[in-house]
Amino acid sequence: MLDLSRKLTDELVIGDKIYSLDISFDNIIRLFEMWLDDEIPEQVKPHFALKMLTKENFGEFDTEEAMDVFKQVFDEHIQLKSIKDVSVEYDLAGNVMKKEPSTHSNEPPVYDISLDGDFIYASFMQAYHIDLLEERGKLHWKKFNALLSGLPEGTKFVEVIKIRKYKPRKGDSQPYIDEMMKLKKEYALPDSENYDDEEDEDYYYEMD
């Protein structure tokens, strides 16, 4: 959450040392991508993360110590919940963005901040006239998320989320349902490949 009553102070304090943190949105996205990279050994990820955030080496820390420090930074400066009516969180364990438990446990992911980069970029340009490529290294992660969650109706990102969340409702015509199912497949994220489309159809017919 962006606290408007307080100044954004991006610092890590360890003993008598103070480290400035790079919490720009693009750096945090790269950090998430690094954390999910299976080719990077798990034991070095905390050190890599701290290096990305502070530009400093923490070789004196073992893996557990580095992880503790990173979790502290993560909880205080990175973790947040926001984006319209979709409750999400950033997960150190593997899922960068994870929905809160839902009655539909087999629902596909709503969005991916890396894979949906085109939609996010276009929507920021459309709604705010902000070129995110020009804001790399400048736009704060929390400001980015506040703007992301505030994207208005009619922007591409919001429309794509609506499509991914679509469930057939009573009164929807069969042509409309067919078109929405087609769009859901077109805009589906790779992680949703195991999603069973029959759930949507069952959900529709249960209301008859």
User: Would 143 be classed as within a structural domain?
Assistant: no
User: Would 3 be classed as within a structural domain?
Assistant: no
Question: 128-161: per-residue pLDDT in tens?
Answer: 999 999 999 999 999 999 999 999 999 999 999 9
User: Would 145 be classed as within a structural domain?
Assistant: no
What is this structure's pTM?
Answer: 0.79
Other Cβ atoms less than 10 A from the Cβ of 28: the count is: 24
pLDDT at 190: 86
User: Would 92 be classed as within a structural domain?
Assistant: no
Residue that is last in its domain, among 78, 100, 115? 78
User: Would 197 be classed as within a structural domain?
Assistant: yes
Give 101's pLDDT tier (boundaries 50, 70, 90).
Answer: very low
Comparing 93 with 38, which gets the higher pLDDT?
38
pLDDT at 107: 61
Q: How many domains does the chain have?
A: 2
State mean pLDDT over 95-99.
42
Residue that is last in its domain, among 22, 50, 78? 78
Residue that is last in its domain, among 25, 52, 78? 78
User: Would 199 be classed as within a structural domain?
Assistant: yes
Question: 35-72: per-residue pLDDT in tens?
Answer: 999 999 999 999 999 999 999 999 999 999 999 999 99
Note down the domain range covering 69.
11-78
